[in-house]
Amino acid sequence: MALEYVVPGLTEEVSEKIVAILQSRLSQEQEAALVLKHAHWNVEGPNFIAVHEMIDPEVTAVLAQADETAERISTLGGSPDGTPDAIVRNRSWEGLGLKGHQSTTDYINALIAYYDEFIANDRKAIAELDELDVISSNIIQDHVQELEKFQWFLRSHVA
């Protein structure tokens, strides 16, 4: 993936490594927006309305994360791939193991498991980016703070 240019102070080799890490994060952030909406539409049970409404602000949050990640890739001279095929192709994690109408508890447990992978991947990216570009690392650090807080919301329902 040849770059069009580099930002002042970064070499081409370093920039390519950063772009590769960010592309993986972009795909998972885009997938997260889809699976959260999927849960939003399919949950059911006595807590339906509360859980249904709790999910929408998180969808907005991860869509904004994807936008920030993709624009950072372009800023660094790379080309972000945001098609659904890229999400499937780049998936190095398990994904959401739940289909159809299910109880709020089942979807909450499935999302907790999904976020375990999501956060672990983001924290691994931070560790690598810290050696390459502090600005890109800052971006993912802010994402993790949000994701971990939402995971607490999820966990509090099944404690």
Residue 57 lies near a copy of itself (rule: CB under 8 A): no
Residue 111 lies near a copy of itself (rule: CB under 8 A): no
Q: Which of 17, 37, 106, 128 binds a copy of itself (CB under 8 A)?
A: 37
Instruction: Identify whether the C-beta of residue 43 lies closer than 8 Å to the C-beta of residue 107.
Output: yes
Locate 20 and state its tokens: 């590769």
Residue 109 lies near a copy of itself (rule: CB under 8 A): no
Q: Which of 12, 34, 94, 131 binds a copy of itself (CB under 8 A)?
A: 34
Distance of CA 120 to the CA centre of its chain: 11
Continuous H helices in the chain: 12-42, 48-75, 84-90, 104-129, 134-158
DSSP-derived 3-state class of residue 102: strand
- Shortest spacing between CB 17 and a copy of itself, in angstroms: 17
- Shortest spacing between CB 80 and a copy of itself, in angstroms: 5
- Shortest spacing between CB 7 and a copy of itself, in angstroms: 5
Residue 149 lies near a copy of itself (rule: CB under 8 A): yes
Residue 12 lies near a copy of itself (rule: CB under 8 A): no
Q: How far is CA 79 from CA 1, 70, 74, 100, 108, in A?
A: 8, 8, 6, 35, 34
**d(C-alpha 112, C-alpha 21), whole Å:** 23
21 or 73, CB closer to a copy of itself?
A: 73
Residue 7 lies near a copy of itself (rule: CB under 8 A): yes
Residue 106 lies near a copy of itself (rule: CB under 8 A): no
Residue 85 lies near a copy of itself (rule: CB under 8 A): yes
Locate 62 and state its tokens: 């991860």
What count of Cα atoms within 13 Å lies in the side-chain half-sphere of residue 97?
A: 9
